Structure 1
Amino acid sequence: MKRAAGEGSIVMRRDGRWQASIRIGGVRKTVYGRTRKEAAEKLEAIKIEAHMHGVIANPKGKTVADMFRAHIEANIPKWKPRTLHDWQVTVERYFAGLRDLPLAKLEPSDIQKSFSEFVLAGKHKTALRIYRTISAACKTAVKYGWLSHNPCDKVEPPRYKPERREVWNTAQLRIFLDGARGHRMFPLWLTAICTGARIGELLALEWSDIAADLCAIRINKSAQRIGGKWVVGEPKTASGNRIVPVPNAVIEAIRFTKQNFPPSSRVFPYSPGHIGRELRKECQRLGLPPITMHGLRHLHGSLLLSEGLPITEVSERLGHASPAITMQVYAHALRQDRAVEVMEKVLE
């Protein structure tokens, strides 16, 4: 009966000894025993060692590049264009030295080396992205039977703790609203502040999405610039499809844009880079701490929660997948005064 690939073979030699052989990572390993049982035990020891190193007996000549390629191809149907682009860029930029390495020879030390220099340079976020990228690809390799288990499990993930976002207070917001009113991008910034929409959602807005008579904006798509081209797709989450009521001031600002700037199918025909640069310059001119477009989204959520709006309502406006996500991101903004009132009554 023919043995399955990766099981190895055991035969009796002419000198009476038993010989056990198995191919691991393209290299044949051979052991001997005075009895068949002894040879079989030594063969099993080789298999166990291979398993502990995250390598199976017959990875079919696959390389680390093959592993990344397989992982990307397996996820294309569910990834958004931006995710696919970011994955391809990450693999090309950070794993060039590992691409041709036989998968059978991929060691935890190789994974450690792939991000160590970024940890030493203080680039902990990049280091964590590198670790998560190769770990996810290794999981696919395990699923396909190319690895017995994920070698990343033996590597301590780099630590990265995002800095807490500092948001403007109401006085700073008022300075911005009063001082930036004459800027061409003010309607965009005002819309971001009053809707909490993501930058991609704002850049995808078309004139048909503005319900001026209802003072509401329909958000049902997201635009991203990938490889020099605009790509319009679905919002980040299913909850991203929403109708967001806005103050009349937002509608008036958008109407001003339509009346005073060159015609465009998009309400805000700018690039993310241009928006960010102009926003930084305006903050500097007004003497305000710098803020990003995502910071304006964060400001919207923080202001609503600090004023006691129900978290479910805020979550719906932001297009979060669930209120639990909103709670996690904006816990610092939740009002604590009711808790204080309860404790004061207890102590009376």
Structure 2
Amino acid sequence: MQEPRRLSVVDNRASSMTVASYLEEWLWAKQSLRASTFKSYESHVRNYLVPYVGHHPLGELRPAHLDKMYRELASREDQRLSVSTLRRVHATLLSALSTAVKRGQLERNPASAVELPQQRRREPVTWTAKDLQAFLQAVQSDPLHPLFLLLAVTGLRRGEVIALRWRDVDLNLGRLSVRQAAVLVGGRVVVGEPKSRSGHRTIAVDDETCRRLTWHKRAQELAVSRVLAPPQRPELVFSDEHGEALDPAHVSRRFVRLVHACGLPRIRLHDLRHTSASLGLASGESLVEVSRRLGHSSLSVTADIYSHISPEVAKHSAERLAASIYGDEPITTQGGLR
């Protein structure tokens, strides 16, 4: 008796198409992504995936091939890849092959069966309030002082503050809206959408910071008018003397140099964001408020990053809880009133 014929939902072209050819097609369809994301995908495909597994037919790609690739990338002598980079490369491949499964070019995703080493989470490094005050006081004369101040007060990302426009800032009502972000792609500053949907947000700004931003705006307009003819009002809140966007890498390098000159604990520019969140929590700001201010995709992201509570925050929380329970009653010990 003749066996029933098995029907396959897999596209027969996958048996002849190589992984390299498929990744080229997949990459071409991703050009609508943020410039930085596309550049990252392209780098992973060109530098790692195509050289190591690109020659395999797409339909014959197996987890063993990927295991071998990751072992070689992690142990090569010229430039071994860190666990974090390996995981990013793997995420790119996982996404690409998931698309192949959806299109019927693969029955299953071989990348989903690969296990990579766990990445050790880097604990946020932050300054104390005194450290931050000392830094801002020491760099008052630096042109980037207003930018550092706004990062500390709002917790904006570097790309968000560099792409911030005056039209998105209301100094009278004390608020700013994050509508775009800048990234460095191939040595060029590219402005696009914020990192995620939750990155679109409106943040309250205190009166003192608004007052200082007003001074900064006047000084910026004066500086630009000396260079440009006819005088023009800068579109960006922070710009060079020509009104153009600042180089993100330059801002980070300048911050590192200033921190070193001040003799303060070494932190990165991004750690000003962590410092802002930590100080906010310490001052009584709720986790929900901090999460929204930072533009995190979910409350769990914020809770995971800032799971380590400082002794001061824990003590203040305990005192607030006790006050709600005891009210104005005197606190007693076994020996009587304290």
Provide the TM-score with structure 2 as the length reference.
0.77
Deviation, 1:110, is 2.1
> How do 1:80-95 residues align onto structure 2 when only pairs under 5 Å count?
80-95=34-49
Number of aligned residues = 302
Give the structure 2 partner of residue 313 of structure 1.
289
The structure with higher relative contact order (CA 8 Å, sep 6+) is 2
Which of 112, 131, 137 matches 1:178? Answer: 137
SS at match of 2:289: helix
- Aligned counterpart in structure 1 of residue 238 of structure 2, from 254, 260, 268: 268
What are the within-5 Å matches in structure 2 for residues 108-257 of structure 1?
A: 108-120=63-75, 121=80, 123-257=82-216
| Counterparts of 1:56 and 1:208, CA distance in 2 | 51
CA contact (8 A) 1:114 1:130 kept: no
Residue equivalent to 1:61: 16
Worse overlay, 169-178 or 337-346? 337-346
1:339 Cα shift?
5.2
Aligned counterparts of 1:341 and 1:254: Cα–Cα separation in 2? 35
8 Å Cα contact 2:182-2:191 kept in structure 1: yes
- With over 3 angstroms needed to count, the CA separation of the structure-2 counterparts of 1:132 and 1:184, relative to structure 1, is same
- The structural deviation recorded for 1:248 is 3.5
| Unaligned segments of structure 2, at least 5 residues | 225-233, 240-245, 327-332, 334-338
Alignment of structure 1 residues 94-109 onto 2, 5 Å: 94-97=48-51, 98-109=53-64
Q: What secondary structure, in the 3-state scheme, does the structure 1 residue paired with 2:50 have?
A: coil
Cα separation, 2, equivalents of 1:311 and 1:303: 12
Tell whether the 8 Å contact from 1:119 to 1:158 is kept in structure 2 after alignment.
no
Partner residue of 1:28?
Answer: none
* Large movers: runs of 4+ above 4 Å: 55-58, 73-77, 339-346
Q: Deviations over 1:262-300 (max 9, x none)?
A: 323222121111001101101111112222232111111
Decide whether aligned partners of structure 1 residues 109 and 322 sit closer, same or farther in structure 2, where only a CA change above 3 A counts.
closer
- State the SS of the aligned residue for 1:69: helix
Which sits farther off after the overlay, 172-181 or 110-119? 110-119
Aligned residue type for 2:96: A
User: For residue 296 of structure 1, what is the aligned residue in structure 2?
Assistant: 272
Deviation digits for residues 200-239 of structure 1 (CA, Å, limit 9, x no counterpart) = 1111112222322223323222222323443322222333
Instruction: Choose the corresponding residue for 1:329, options 301, 305, 308.
Output: 305
Counterpart position of 2:254: 278
- The CA RMSD measured in Å over matched residues stands at 3.3
Determine if contact 1:138/1:150 at 8 Å carries over to the other structure: yes
User: Is residue 15–residue 59 contact of structure 2 (8 Å, CA) maintained in 1?
Assistant: no
Q: CA deviation at 1:84?
A: 1.5
Q: 1:168: Cα distance to partner?
A: 0.9
CA distance in 1, matches of 2:73, 2:209: 43
C-alpha deviations, 1:281-339, integer Å up to 9, x for none? 01111112222232111111111112221222222221223333222222224843445
- State the distance in 1 between where 2:71 and 2:318 align: 45
Q: Report the CA distance between 1:253 and its aligned residue.
A: 3.6
Provide the C-alpha distance between the structure 2 equivalents of 1:317 and 1:197, rounded to a whole number of angstroms: 8
Gaps of 5+ in 1: 1-35, 49-54
Higher Rg of the two aligned structures: 1
